[in-house]
Amino acid sequence: MYILQMKDGIELTDEFWDESDYYKSPNSISDNAIQEVEEQLGYKLPQSYINLIRTQNGGTPRNTCFRTLTANSYAEDHIAISAIHGIGGMWGIDSRELGSKFMIEEWGYPDIGIVICSCPSAGHDSIMLDYSDCGPSGEPRVIHVDVETLGDPQITILAQDFQSFISGLVSEEELPGDSEELKGYEVLDVWINPEFAEMLKKNENKNLKK
């Protein structure tokens, strides 16, 4: 096992990422690619995020839970993620079909930053980099956004920066034994973009053929 010491203090081992390649982008990470994504989305990416996707261009981490002080649509004391998105490919933050701009325009996420992580709800809540206080070139905080509400999206501040968010990820086994997903949360209505559903279906068929 090797330990990768990140320049900004994050330590990653070869066990940070799960073995699944489902959310992994095939694109290589170059300085030009990063610059193009920043220009497309209108925000400067955190260096800790760039360092992370240089180890693997997106995917599912082994530790997928982050503790919270308040209840949310997922659980009483934590949120969970399905993936941290890289750049390029179908799942990249710059993807025209499933990327950050798509989530903001089609799913109603606030136009304050970048949708960076998927959650198990498949679109009804996500993790965002929030630039509303720091500006497009600053260090964004990390927030959980739930759009499956009767009013405005519900926002929960998770961490002051992406490095703190990554460092705070834990496995479900590390959570208190009485931690449970909310039983009373009810989805009142569901809308799935037909193109989104068709793309997921095609991708699933490809995986079955492998």
Nearest to 207 by CA among 24, 8, 80: 24
Dist CA 130 CA 161 (whole Å): 9
pLDDT at 126: 95
How many CB atoms sit inside 10 A of residue 99's CB? 23
pTM: 0.79
Going 160 to 161 to 162 to 167, the CA torsion angle's sign is negative
pLDDT of residue 1: 29
pLDDT (0 to 100) of residue 10: 54
pLDDT of residue 208: 53
Homologous superfamily of the 3-209 domain (CATH): SMI1/KNR4-like (3.40.1580.10)
Q: What is the pLDDT of residue 70?
A: 87
What's residue 195's pLDDT?
55
Residue 148 pLDDT = 82
pLDDT tens by residue, the chain, 210 residues: 233 445 445 555 568 999 999 999 999 899 999 999 999 999 999 999 999 999 999 999 999 999 999 888 888 899 999 999 999 999 999 999 999 999 999 999 999 999 999 999 888 899 999 999 999 999 999 999 999 877 788 999 999 999 999 999 999 899 876 544 444 444 444 444 555 556 556 655 555 555
Element (H, E) at 66: strand 65-67
Q: What is the number of residues in the chain? A: 210
> Within 13 Å, how many C-alpha atoms sit on residue 66's CB side?
26
Separation of alpha carbons 61 and 13, rounded Å: 11
Name the nearest CA neighbour of 10 among 61, 77, 59. Answer: 61
**pLDDT at residue 11, as a whole number:** 57
How confident is the model at residue 13, as a pLDDT?
55
Q: How far is Cα 140 from Cα 138, in angstroms, rounded to an integer?
A: 6
Alpha carbon distance 77, 99 (integer Å): 28
